[in-house]
Structure 1
Amino acid sequence: MRTHGTPRFAGLRLLAAVMALVTFVLPARHASASDGGQYTMQEIVDAGHTFFGSTTGGLAKVVEKAFEQFGLPNGYILGQEGSGAFIAGLTYGEGQLNTKNAGQHEVFWQGPSLGIDYGGQGSRTMMLVYNLPSVDSLYSRLGGVSGSAYVVAGVGMTVMRNENVLVVPIRTGVGARLGLNVGYLKLTRAPTWNPF
């Protein structure tokens, strides 16, 4: 009888160690990678359906388009806005930023636009937020070409950017805004009437 270990069981111990690694460590790493403060498409669609209610016919398609182009967001804003334009226009809104790692924060936005644009609109708005390193970095001016929208079944998506932070507003609502307008949104911690 041997007392200093059996080589035939060494392979079984190695196999058991590898299986434990695969079973416990790798799934934990995968979960932390997908749960690293980012939202899945299903989480965003569910939040949108709850927020928009019955006007969400094209929401899933617009969200899918955003995910195809930009990936997983690490925040989203749910809010309401009002805007109007005849060549030049203004937009004012308020909502709540939702993040997995920094909680919920109130946010206000306002901004001018200039271009071939007329009409008025009151809408519920969901904004997907990408590459947000901190909540403070959201409060800035975001520029973009609003007329480069993707629209499906009364739900539209535009793209705005400031440095690395990307915000994708998804809107649905009453009224009509037609044409190409170039402007920006200024996101702030408190409401203000000054769009500049």
Structure 2
Amino acid sequence: MREELRAFFNEKASVWDSLQKVSPQRIRNLLEPLPVAKGGSILDVGSGTGVLIPFLRELFSPSLIVELDIAEEMLKIAKEKFDDDGIIYVWGDAESFVFDRTFDAIICYSSFPHFSDKERVVVHLSNFLKKGGVFAILHSSGREAIHRIHASNEVTREDLLPPASEVALIFKKAGLEIIRSVDDDDEYALVGVKG
């Protein structure tokens, strides 16, 4: 676990929602194409303050949402906003956390650049994806915009988002068939299905 990254996000947790100004429709547009079955289970990786929760509920009516984040303060805020039986909050590192279940969908929204070993994260997490399950890496901005934002801070300066074509090779190693790939100035979406 990158302790400096954990500290950075814990420090920003109380103001995070006011700093992130993504239109709800942009988030909805990223999630809508995902072939996630209604009533399934969803793992939200790098979940932060729970920004995806209302959209996941609206679009997929999941029976369970697991919010995984390295910053416990982010999770506390998410739990204050959405505290009910259908959500489990887990403090841990996506590179090594072990789950006692599998999921119908695993979504990394605006978190993938922060993983030190991106291949390890995808391969590791795909072990907890059901056959036919969806693995999605989503960003509501293009790579260059993300890199500019991350470059402005010492802690996130090297947290880069690789081209979708590179991450697609990792997906293949993890047994994920690519069903959607967008890597442009406005959006980044790589979606695979476990065979």
Q: Same fold (TM over 0.5)?
A: no
Higher-Rg member (1/2): 1
Instruction: Report the TM-score when normalising by structure 1.
Output: 0.28
When you count helix as a share of all residues, which structure comes out higher? 2
When you count strand as a share of all residues, which structure comes out higher? 1
